[in-house]
Structure 1
Amino acid sequence: MTRSPLLHFFTLFSLLFFTPSCQAPKELVYRDFKNLKVEKLGFGASSLKLDVIYYNPNNFGLQLKYTDLDIFIDGNYLGHSSQDYQISIQRLSEFTLPLQINLDMQNLLKNALPTFLGKEVTVKITGKVKLGKANVYKTFPVNYEGKQRFVVF
């Protein structure tokens, strides 16, 4: 039985078109943060809001559905952020991720003085995010550590 050239063309076209779309996404690249503000301040519970800037190095857009993150400053637990999203991330571009962090008030004082004085601190973020494409999502681990200078005053 002979196969038609048209069948070969469609097979080749399908392989070329669909194979790149099945690649695992590259890790998002942290760029910066802005708009840090105290949302709620109290002895029992406090929260911060900030916008985190990331870059999508992928040749395709993504959708961010969920984040579940723990934040540490100089090894001390600062707080937790767990949020549902529907953020569309364009390919090869920066995007802003709004975060609300529920603070651990016991560890806040350990972190506050060096941070408010503008000292460079080690920020560590661990947890997971749910990213996808075309409403097919996968959970990815987050493990970021870097130096950051917070200027509050």
Structure 2
Amino acid sequence: MRTFSLLILALILIFTACQKPQAFDYRSVKNVKLEKLGFEKSTLCMDLVYYNPNNFGVDLRKVDCDIYIDNHYLGKYKLDTLMHINRKAEFVLPSRIQVDMQSIFKNVLTVLFNKEVLVNVKGTTRVGKAGFFKTISFNYEARHKIDMGL
């Protein structure tokens, strides 16, 4: 009887621990820096601030995505490190983006004279809990105000 009770308890814990994680909430961008400037590719560094709305912590292992501004390719973002994210907490995702400069040169006037741009990020991430990871596709799209100081 005791073994059966432990089995039931273990099954309950497994089913409650395997809740589908909610998507992280984007909060802001901080510390934007141009790390490397080139004619073909440049490297842009920034800290992305997010909030984990889940009632449990998760581990973020990998992010691989493409970034578009007003439906024009900007560059690729990759993160390949293990990062623990606490439950119901803000966290900072250090980001390094390889920017395709040819795309920027083609669309610089559009970006300079618009007060808002459409940001679209498409990719995958590996998120897990207790050592079990799952690859999840995501597609973020939103309008963001920009201030170029003109």
Same fold by TM-score, threshold 0.5 exceeded?
yes
* 1:94 equivalenced with 2:73 (yes/no): no
Does the aligned pair in 2 maintain the 1:60–1:91 contact within 8 Å?
yes
Deviation string, structure 1 residues 83-126 (Cα, Å, up to 9, x no partner): 20121100111111111111111111244445456721000000
- Give the equivalent residue in structure 1 for 2:55: 59
Unaligned runs of 5+ in 2: none
- Give the equivalent residue in structure 2 for 1:137: 133
**1:58 alignment partner, SS class:** coil
TM-score normalised by structure 2 residue count: 0.87
Instruction: Tell me how far apart the structure 2 counterparts of residues 61 and 112 of structure 1 sit (CA, whole Å).
Output: 40
**1:87 alignment partner, SS class:** strand
**1:39 alignment partner, SS class:** strand
2:10 is aligned, of 14, 22, 29, to 14
CA displacement at 1:8 relative to structure 2: 5.3
* 1:69 equivalenced with 2:71 (yes/no): no
Instruction: Tell me how far apart the structure 1 counterparts of residues 81 and 106 of structure 2 sit (CA, whole Å).
Output: 31
Does the aligned pair in 2 maintain the 1:76–1:107 contact within 8 Å?
yes
Instruction: Tell me how far apart the structure 2 counterparts of residues 120 and 45 of structure 1 sit (CA, whole Å).
Output: 24
TM-score normalised by structure 1 residue count: 0.86
Q: Which amino acid aligns with 2:105?
A: L
**For the pair shown, which has the larger CA radius of gyration, 1 or 2?**
1
- Give the equivalent residue in structure 1 for 2:42: 46
Instruction: Tell me how far apart the structure 2 counterparts of residues 79 and 51 of structure 1 sit (CA, whole Å).
Output: 16
Unaligned runs of 5+ in 1: none
How many percent of aligned residue pairs carry the same amino acid? 41
**How many residues end up aligned between the 2 structures?**
149
CA displacement at 1:133 relative to structure 2: 1.2
**1:91 alignment partner, SS class:** coil
